[in-house]
Structure 1
Amino acid sequence: MARGRLQIYLGAAPGVGKTYTMLEEGQRLRAAGSDVVAGFVEAHGRRPTAAMAEGIETVERRALTHRGVSFTEMDLDAVLARRPQVALVDELAHTNVPGTRNAKRWQDVEELLDAGIDVVTTVNVQHLESLNDVVMQITGVRQRETLPDEVARRAGQIELVDLPPEALRRRLVHGDIYAPDRIEAALTHYFRVGNLIALRELALLWLADRVEEGLQRYRAEHGIAAPWETRERILVALTGGPEGETLIRRAARITARTPGSELLALHVVPADGLATTDPAALDRQRRLVESLGGGYHQTTGDDVVASLMDFARAENVTQIVLGASRRGRLGMMLAPGVGHRTVRASGPVDVHVVTHEEAAGTGRPVRLPRPGGSRGTGPRRFWAALTGAVLLLPVLTVAMAALRDRLDLSTVLVV
């Protein structure tokens, strides 16, 4: 039996109309010929919501008593026995009354999905487990009912139900959300404009991450290696050297100037497992990355550039931040450095090469001229040295040729 499909309407805040939208979808499916039932719908006394539910078959709720108080919950067994094509189940994060088979409503929904029943449901962003502490900081209210993020992420479809803060506050004032005696307190506390803006942004960012997962999956399934610049991702490459903190802060500034962008850091560990950097330095850099809101990663590989580019393609990175080479000019002439090779391999990915105190030629102490002028390289000394160099080589060549019968090759080479 094929597993049912889960569709979630994610509310940015209470009262945005997610239950109404769920019922509207139910009516659309019903008009298209699907067998739709309301397993559990909470209208909260809102007349437009109750009117939208008219015509949809409702499975009678199960009555329970807990500590002398009567409650009603979705009758899971009755819905399973009815076996509709689609079940409408409100408030996915709800905690069931003790005495029901499952502790949480999302567990009831899992049973419906396992039975091959499609489920359309609702949840507010403040009930997502990963955002619980953030919502507490914003609103001052701890949400007791939470939903594991992985449950929501498994949904086949998630749609955001949202309203501008002022429009939502007008609905609240008109009595469309809470009873009159709760309106004033709600306006001055939970439903403050700043709170609603923050909750709205949380919902958009969470949903954007979920969409990004789908995009990454699509690219992997279709073998798409080139980055798609749907979102700026700035990757800073760390060697564990002392320049790392400079690079991290530079990358963080680039990230801060690009709204919605993401900061990543990567350290490539040699495949042989031999440590070539100070673990304490790397740990400090990791903590700095995380304090700036970024993510720290490590990967293993013999070729630093290949490992760096493999990670960049896998994460859809759009910009890379590298430190200028610490090698001297001779070393750069003998073999191209990581920066040069990364630029050549980067393709459409932008590469920033950042100078720092440890870069070759930039960290040397500057000597001040001695009082009375320098005795170093002036124009006269330069031309004298150049003339001497030009004349010395042929003179030595003539002298060595004249003495070739008395000197062996090793002596000539030393001279």
Structure 2
Amino acid sequence: MARGKLRIYLGAAPGVGKTYATLSEAHRRVERGTDCVVGFVEHHDRPRTEVMLHGLEQVVRKELEYRGSVFTEMDVDAVLARRPKVALVDELAHTNIPGSRNDKRWQDVEELLAAGIDVISTVNIQHLESLGDVVESITGIRQRETVPDEVVRRADQIELVDMSPPALRRRMAHGNIYKPDKVDAALSNYFRPGNLTALRELALLWVADRVDAYLTEYRSAHQVSKIWGSRERIVVGLTGGPEGRTLIRRAARLAEKGAGGEVLAVYIARSDGLTSASPKELVVQRTLVEDLGGPFHHVIGDDIPTALLDFARGVNATQIVLGVSRRKGWQYVFGPGVGATVARESGPDLDVHLITHDEAGKGRGLPLARSARLGRSRVIWGWLAGVAGPALLTLLLTGVAPEVGLANDRLLYLALTVAAALLGGLYPALASALVGSVLLNWF
């Protein structure tokens, strides 16, 4: 048996018209000949909503007694026995009265879906479980009735029922949502303009995030490599240098200019591990980007421009933020640099920002970075082996053992170069090779 399909009308606040939209959809389906019944719809004494129930078949509710009062809940068994094509079930986050078939209404809906019945339901953004703390910080009210986010995300269709805060407050003032004796209290508390604006933005961002997830899944399934700029997604390329903090903050400001913008930081390391990044600085930058709400990625790639562009296209980024090169002017003889290469190969669908910073043109700082990784004492011994070592070896070969021979002399100087490399890294080794070559040729 095929599982039923779930359609949810999502609202930012009570009164935006979710139940009305649900009933309107039910009337449209009935007119098309679809077998549609009302499993549970609460009109809350709203005249226009109550009128919309006319002409729709309603499954009789189940009565339950609790603490001396009688309440009504959806009769799941009756709906299953009736077996309609579509069932309307309002208020997905509702908590059922003790003694009901299930504790939560969304569990009732899961049973209907498992039986092959399509369900149309409603929920407000404040009832999503993951947003409880955020909503409480906005409204000052803790929502007791919640529904797991995964239940809503699994819906086959989610439709946002939107209404501007001024329009919603007018509906409230006209008595279309609450009874007249509750209007003033609602307008001055939960339905304040600031609260409604924040909740509306929360709903829009949540739906946009879900759409973005579907878009990513579609692009992956269809192997789409071209960037689709559905939302601003900014990739910050980090080198582990101190300028990274400046780049992250600048990218965050760029993201704020576009609704729903997102910042992703990426550090690309060579597969051989020979990088100039400071681990402590990378930890600081990771913390900063995560504090700003973005993820940090560590990628392995020997060709940094290619790896960076592949990553950006893989996450459907629209912009890349890089720092102006720290290399000195003479170092450009070895190539145009990462920033220029990325800008040249990015293509028309990916913008590249080169951000100036205090470290620009001061040199790449590789010796310092290697010193930080190898330790100060090792670097000092490396320089001694690379500079003083060839001089001492020359004294020995000229004064003590001049008959060793040129071939063996070369091997001894080469051994010092290897020792300098093992102790102090690249630069002491280069110095050893240069000094040893000069001494070997002179003497």
Larger RCO, structure (CA 8 Å, separation 6 or more): 1
Q: Match for residue 323 of structure 1?
A: 323
Tell me the CA shift for residue 412 of structure 1. Answer: 12
Measure how far apart 1:343 and its partner are: 2.2
Across the two proteins, how many residue pairs are aligned to each other? 371
| Matching residue of 1:405 | none
Secondary structure of 2:136's match?
helix
Residue aligning to 1:337: 337
**Counterpart residue type for residue 56 of structure 2:** I
Tell me which residue corresponds to 1:403.
none
The answer to whether the 8 Å contact 1:356/1:362 transfers is no
Q: Is 1:357–1:363's contact at 8 Å kept on the other side of the alignment?
A: no
Cross-structure match for 2:283: 283
Using the TM superposition, name which of 308-317 and 327-336 deviates more: 327-336
Aligned to 1:376: none
Contact 2:326 2:363 (C-alpha < 8 Å) held by counterparts = no
Look up the match of 2:34: 34
**8 Å Cα contact 2:326/2:364 also seen in 1:** no
Paired residue for 1:357?
358
- Please state whether the residue corresponding to 2:316 is helix, strand or coil: coil
Contact 1:234 1:317 in 2 (8 A): yes
Percent of pairs identical after alignment? 61
Deviation at 1:117, TM superposition (A): 0.9
Tell me which residue corresponds to 2:263: 263
Does residue 87 (structure 1) correspond to residue 87 (structure 2)? The answer is yes
Unaligned stretches of 5+ in structure 2? 366-437
Distance 2:113 2:356 in 1: 56
Letter in 1 for 2:288: L
* 1:133 and 2:139 matched: no
Whole-angstrom CA distance in 1 between matches of 2:173 and 2:69: 31
Q: 1:172 matched to which residue of 2?
A: 172
Query: TM-score by structure 1 length?
Result: 0.82
Q: Matches of 1:53 and 1:8 in 2, distance apart?
A: 18
The residue type paired with residue 238 of structure 1 is L
The alpha carbon displacement at 1:275 in A equals 8.1
> For residues 299 and 100 of structure 1, do their structure 2 counterparts lie closer, same or farther at Cα, with a shift above 3 Å needed?
farther
Instruction: Tell me, in whole angstroms, the C-alpha distance in 2 between the residues paired with 1:239 and 1:250.
Output: 16
Within 5 Å, give how 1:113-152 maps onto structure 2: 113-152=113-152
Q: Deviations over 1:214-250 (max 9, x none)?
A: 2222222222211112222111112222221111122
Summarize the Cα distance change of 1:317–1:134 in structure 2 as closer, same or farther, 3 Å threshold. Answer: same
Conservation of the 8 A alpha-carbon contact between 2:327 and 2:364 = no
Aligned partner of 1:161 in structure 2 is 161
Letter paired with 2:236: V
Report the equivalent of 2:425: none
- What does residue range 16-415 of structure 1 map to in structure 2 within 5 Å? 16-271=16-271, 277-347=277-347, 348-361=349-362
In the TM superposition, residue 35 of structure 1 has moved relative to its aligned partner by 0.5
Distance 1:411 1:169, change over 3 A: closer
Aligned to 1:392: none
1:330 deviates by 4.8
CA deviations on 1:143-175 (whole Å, 9 max, x unpaired) are 111122221111111111122222211221222
Question: Structure 1: which 5+ runs fail to align?
Answer: 365-409
Q: Does the residue aligned with 2:353 lie in a helix, a strand or coil?
A: strand
Cα pair 2:243 2:357 within 8 Å, conserved: yes
Q: Which amino acid aligns with 2:95?
A: T
Match of 1:257, as an amino acid?
A: K
The alignment yields a C-alpha RMSD, in angstroms, of: 2.6
| Whole-angstrom distance in 2 between the partners of 1:335 and 1:361 | 17
